[in-house]
Amino acid sequence: MSATTGVPRATRPAENDVDPSVPGFEAWGGDWDEIAREAIGEERIVVNMGPQHPSTHGVLRLMLEIDGETVTEARCGIGYLHTGIEKNMEFRTWTQGTTFCTRMDYLAPFFQETAFCLATEKLLDITGDVPERASVIRVLMMELNRVASHLVALGTGGNEMGATTVMTVAFTAREEILRVFEAVTGLRMNHAYVRPGGVATDVPEGIDAQVRHAIAQVRTYLGQLGDLMLANPIFKARLTDVGTLDLTGCMALGVTGPVLRSTGLPYDVRKAFPYCGYETYDFDVPTDTAADSYARVVIRLEECYQSLRIAEQCLARLADTAGSPVMVADRKIAWPAQLSVGPDGQGNSLDHIRTIMGESMEALIHHFKLVTEGFRVPVGQAWQTVEHPRGELGVHVVSDGGTKPYRAHFRDPSFNNLQAVSVMCEGGQVADVVVAVASLDPVLGGVDR
């Protein structure tokens, strides 16, 4: 062990019955990098991209083994944003669970809320009792949220490739939608607005005009984004044939959403397993066959237009259901949904407060127990999927008959989609890793839940 270098085995006398005809190298002592360069003639470099990096869409660590500018191996490191949301939900009531799950994928909070509440409603056997107006409001919020999420994907992806104007236009458009969210829920993100049995409160007066104005503005900005990206030969050349993943790869890895639809398969949960009345809405499922990063940009842009189309249908239905309830009638389940905006923000309507505080002691006691203790959910388990901006979001909830979930588990699309990073990046250039990850559009809040 005193030697300090490595040499081809065939140039030394065989030792310990080693067959000198077998190709290979033996190294001992010294520094491995020097030995590798001398004996093997190549250098192995491992680069960490993240977890603090402007191009990793959150605290994602990418471990890249490179040969020059070529990526020979790519692996993902997750867990840097772990919040224990699923575990925390086991110690909160079913209604309070929406406050946790809305914070998972923070760019698409309404989808986690709706999926969790739909699963809870299955356990309660009240799916058919949810008022139509509540379902219409859920669809409206989700579709506007889909547009807002896609705008972030397109904007940040463009910015990472040096197209700063793409980001500024996309984020300006997103602001129009966030203003609508704030008007309806009181918050721009992390709303906890969707509740088991309906929604927290009806939409405020004048929301129709505000949403129509936002839709018109967003359509204008989407046209600008189309000109900036799709009509730009530099942008197109940068994304075409980069980060390709065919249908076989998507099926093997469980990849869904725009990445799957870029292979030509029109799989969309809204069409395959409708929920919230999606089977009654008129919309198309955009697809492409190029299976590359450019195709995913085209699909996300077209999905924005389709979501705005659904939102306009929701506005017509809201007009038809004006004055209808937005929460189930069963007072053993329904949280108070008679809320109004006062000078100090949102709160219970004065009429409701007068009733439970001054006229009915039983109502006051029930209100107190419902909020502090929660309602009981029958023993069982339920599975619910929704079409999330990043793919198929699944929720598995288990009840032991108590007022809190025994288990709540989420199949977040970003978690599954990240498995494709190695397939999409290995063999390509280091610079193309940024493009490939951007085309996946992962959000680590959902991955590290």
Per-residue pLDDT reduced to its tens digit, 65-91: 888 888 888 888 888 888 889 999 999
Q: What does the alpha-carbon distance between residue 151 and residue 221 come to, in Å, rounded to a whole number?
A: 10
Q: How far is CA 444 from CA 51, 59, 250, 449, in A?
A: 11, 7, 20, 8
Q: Quick one: pLDDT at residue 8?
A: 46
At 427, the pLDDT band (50, 70, 90 cuts) reads confident
Q: What is the mean pLDDT of residues 157-178?
A: 92
Per-residue pLDDT reduced to its tens digit, 206-256: 899 999 999 999 999 999 999 999 988 998 999 999 989 999 999 999 999
**Cis peptide preceding 51, ω within 30 of 0:** yes
pTM assigned to the model: 0.85
Handedness of CA 315, 319, 320, 322 (dihedral sign): positive
- Give the DSSP H or E segment for 388: strand 380-388
Q: Quick one: pLDDT at residue 20?
A: 63
What the chain holds in terms of domains, given with CATH numbers, is 1-40 (no CATH), 85-333+375-447 (1.10.645.10)
Q: What does the alpha-carbon distance between residue 391 and residue 375 come to, in Å, rounded to a whole number?
A: 32
From the centroid of its chain, how far is CA 254?
A: 15
Short-list 433, 397, 396, CA closest to 418: 433
Percentage of the chain lying above the pLDDT 90 cut: 59
pLDDT over 60 (residue 330): yes
Average pLDDT, the chain: 86
